[in-house]
Structure 1
Amino acid sequence: ESYSFVMTNFDGSRVYGYCRRLQPLDSSLPEVISIISPIDAFNMYMTLLNEIEARRRISFDQATELIAASFGRPLPKPGKVCHIRTLDISGDMETIFLNRSADNRLENVNYESPLYYLGTDRLVKVFSSMLMERRIILCSSNLSVLTQTVHALSALLYPFQWQHVYIPLLPHEMLDVLCAPVPFIVGVLSVFLPEVLKLDLEVVFIVDLDKKNIVKSQGDESTILPKRIQKALKTAVNMCKIDAEARNVQWLMVAEAFLRMFIETVGHFSNHIRTQQDGNRIFQKDGFILEVISKEVREFLSWFTETQMFEVFITNHVEKLDFGTS
């Protein structure tokens, strides 16, 4: 069983954990192989975990030899390859190639999980709550389903990024984190849900993925997005679900459906970045909102432009313009 987690430091930087749980033949207890890294490269580390697991099923020594060979190797840059020389399961010397994707945005993104466990209506409600930067808790008894769903939901925000507490798998000892008065997206094992419900939680959206139902909500989730945008989004997602022939690219179709929503609502943002006489660039929010004809979309933008994810997005874009990289 594979799963992953993310730890957020006080400065906002993140550390990524990649895990593989297995039952060795020479042990009565299950083991977990964990890799902790400062970079988000799911596919690369899953390749390494596959190699470690294959050796661990033969002997502990073969697994530790590969782990030792991996230590000290420089992290490859995006689009590059890391080479690790070690003994294979037959005892012969081999080279393992670890490819780091040039664009990891859709790595470990399995949209089949949220589509199946949430369904279209609940998926759009969770997405709307994320845009409002609310407190969101997902529950499941399955580690892989839980972490994959949390990762997939976070990826739907592209080109924006969740700026608050983000914990795909919250340990039992850290349940008190849910009482913090800050926005978060958190995954919790279902066995702990009764304890979560006993906490004094306000303005929280809780979904039980196993039972496919909303446990707690504010009741306004269906009104957050403009009706026309919401209808188009649901139609696109439903088309992704029924197009069986395109199942192998379903994840891309879902991602594009949500990306089109952002293009339609905020795609004109660059028209309202102005250069002042002193050379500084500013974003003219009022003009950005007023350019939109639809009253509903203007109302949506009036609060969305106040979110931290939008502010960081604009700030990063302006900085790229200043450095000539946009």
Structure 2
Amino acid sequence: MAGTGLANFFRNSLRRKSARRDVNRDAPPDESKSESARRPGERSHFCYSPGQFFFEYLVVVSLKKKSGGDYEPKIIYQFPKRENLLRGQKEEEERLLQAIPLFCFPDGNHWAPLTEYTSETFSFVLTNVDGSRKIGYCRRLLPVGRGPRFPEVFCIISCLGCFGLFSKILDEVEKRRQISMAVIYPFMQGLRESPFPAPGKTVTIKSFIPDSGTELIELTRPLDSWLEHVEFQALLQHLSPENILWLFASAVLERRIIFVAEELSVLSQCIHAVAALLYPFSWAHTYIPVVPECLIDTVCCPTPFMVGVQKRCLEQVLDQPMEEVGDERDILPAKLQTEMLTSLKMHNSNNNIQTSEQVNTHVSNTFVQFFVKTVGHYTSHLKWNKSGQGSFQEKAFCKAITSRSCRKFVKRFVRTQMFSLFIQEVERSRITQEGKLPHLLPLPC
């Protein structure tokens, strides 16, 4: 696909994901099904079904010299090779494989051979036409050898959001790469033949390494599956609690957010973390943790987005037409904002004695409780007809809130697409989202 064609491919995908629409609560239950490609009650664009494949592809992307002297990323290895695909499947695969190299080297084509390079881990997200998402887990490293050479990227494509687990898989891939490419294949084959474990469960992969014998590699999913795709520690290391709350306030009202950082790993970790703060709601618009340099003009559209760009592209970003609202400090109810700040600062004081899982749980609970106290009473304002179809009573829901500041916030929040999609899913089934908002309060704030 030529450069223009690739840009059009992403432009169409972004347009589809960013198109805002008024939600008709009286619409047939399946009218917005393609909007999020989720089962009722599932608050994620990523699949978590136990028993499915860990990954779809492993590809190796390397830099190849062009006639003009620059370098462009190309796939030099793909596992598995898929055959006998239907026409539509083949076209989708071609689009995917043509997009991957650009995201493995998003920092442009101006490279020089290197003798030293510290490997880094990052991820990107590709949105399909049906709204579902695939994640690319990347490890960029310098191949074994002598003299100047180019880094290469090992990229695992999966619809499963489990960053800690895939980081461990990439550790194993990198260890085998130091021996031989041939040692990677049997490990990935064994991984592909193993079922994806349920939350809290472990799968063991057997892998033979020359001169070391057979190794047993254990891969365990966190018990809290909604936290397995995020690492809040990175966000807390790079932003103050006040800035985290301002980001959350912008995200919860579905504004345009651009993350800027030097390192790809920092970009992808922080943007995933901010999106995870919205749980049990999910970001329903343009979402690109690392934007390739050549596509910055394409993604800075006038609709909501959450994107990450490298610092080298900051000047190009600032040239884009953008408005600055500046009211982030006043979006969240003051009392709840103070409670959240206190909770986040308490984490900082206990930082040295908390594990990664404890940090994730602490931070997640802080923001879940915010939603519990503001909109956790939504189940009391659902009416059901005889056929099991629900109807959300929005006016009564907002009127039930006694606090002025909370009511002001909620009246804005209920107009967001993330809240509308959440309620649409609830309305389709009497199996409501109570399990997603624990400890529902009898009275809202």
Please say if 1:230 is aligned against 2:320.
Answer: no
Cα contact 1:78–1:101 (8 A) shared by 2 = no
Cα contact 1:224–1:300 (8 A) shared by 2 = yes
Partners of 2:362 and 2:387 lie apart in 1 by: 44
Unmatched segments (≥5 aa) in structure 1: 204-216
Q: CA deviation at 1:74?
A: 5.5
> Cα–Cα, structure 1 residues 117 and 47, in superposed 2: closer, same or farther, change >3 Å?
closer
> Cα–Cα, structure 1 residues 23 and 308, in superposed 2: closer, same or farther, change >3 Å?
same
Please say if 1:301 is aligned against 2:422.
Answer: no
> Cα–Cα, structure 1 residues 81 and 255, in superposed 2: closer, same or farther, change >3 Å?
closer
1:208-260 Cα shifts (integer Å, max 9, x gaps): xxxxxxxxx32111111122222222122112212245432233222211111
Q: CA deviation at 1:45?
A: 2.0
Give structure 1 regions of 4+ aligned residues with deviation exceeding 6 angstroms.
323-326
Please say if 1:289 is aligned against 2:398.
Answer: yes
Partners of 1:96 and 1:103 lie apart in 2 by: 22
Q: Paired residue for 1:118, among 239, 246, 259? A: 239
Which residue does the alignment assign to 1:49? 170
Q: CA deviation at 1:136?
A: 0.4
Q: Which amino acid aligns with 2:211?
A: S
Q: CA deviation at 1:68?
A: 4.5
Q: Paired residue for 1:13, among 120, 132, 138? A: 132
Partners of 1:199 and 1:85 lie apart in 2 by: 51
Q: Paired residue for 1:145, among 266, 282, 297? A: 266
What SS does the corresponding residue of 1:18 show, helix, strand or coil?
Answer: strand
Cα contact 2:123–2:135 (8 A) shared by 1 = yes
Partners of 2:207 and 2:178 lie apart in 1 by: 17
Partners of 2:254 and 2:365 lie apart in 1 by: 22
Which residue does the alignment assign to 1:206? none
Partners of 1:106 and 1:45 lie apart in 2 by: 14
> Cα–Cα, structure 1 residues 84 and 219, in superposed 2: closer, same or farther, change >3 Å?
same
Q: Which amino acid aligns with 1:38?
A: C
Aligned pairs for 1:52-201 (under 5 A) are 52-71=173-192, 73=193, 75-79=195-199, 81-82=202-203, 84-90=205-211, 92-101=213-222, 103-200=224-321
Cα contact 2:124–2:135 (8 A) shared by 1 = yes
Cα contact 1:137–1:188 (8 A) shared by 2 = yes
Which residue does the alignment assign to 1:220? 327
Partners of 1:130 and 1:138 lie apart in 2 by: 12
Q: Which amino acid aligns with 1:76?
A: F
Partners of 2:167 and 2:391 lie apart in 1 by: 42
Q: CA deviation at 1:322?
A: 5.3
User: What's the TM-score, normalizing by structure 2?
Assistant: 0.65
Q: CA deviation at 1:139?
A: 0.6
Which residue does the alignment assign to 1:23? 142
Cα contact 1:138–1:187 (8 A) shared by 2 = yes
> Cα–Cα, structure 1 residues 278 and 250, in superposed 2: closer, same or farther, change >3 Å?
closer
Aligned pairs for 1:243-282 (under 5 A) are 243-244=350-351, 246-248=353-355, 249-276=358-385, 279-282=388-391
Between 1 and 2, higher relative CO (CA 8 Å, sep ≥ 6) is seen in 2
Q: Which amino acid aligns with 1:105?
A: W
Q: CA deviation at 1:101?
A: 4.4
Q: CA deviation at 1:300?
A: 1.0
Cα contact 2:388–2:429 (8 A) shared by 1 = no
What is the number of equivalent residue pairs in this alignment? 311
Partners of 1:158 and 1:111 lie apart in 2 by: 13
Which residue does the alignment assign to 1:37? 158
Cα contact 1:78–1:103 (8 A) shared by 2 = no
Q: CA deviation at 1:64?
A: 3.6
Cα contact 1:85–1:95 (8 A) shared by 2 = yes
Which residue does the alignment assign to 2:90? none
1:28-58 Cα shifts (integer Å, max 9, x gaps): 3222111001221223322221111111112
* RMSD between aligned residues: 2.4
Cα contact 2:134–2:158 (8 A) shared by 1 = yes
Unmatched segments (≥5 aa) in structure 2: 1-119, 436-445
What SS does the corresponding residue of 1:218 show, helix, strand or coil?
Answer: coil
Partners of 2:139 and 2:284 lie apart in 1 by: 27
> Cα–Cα, structure 1 residues 35 and 244, in superposed 2: closer, same or farther, change >3 Å?
closer
Q: Paired residue for 1:317, among 426, 429, 436? A: 426
User: What's the TM-score, normalizing by structure 1?
Assistant: 0.87
Q: Which amino acid aligns with 1:281?
A: G
> Cα–Cα, structure 1 residues 89 and 292, in superposed 2: closer, same or farther, change >3 Å?
farther
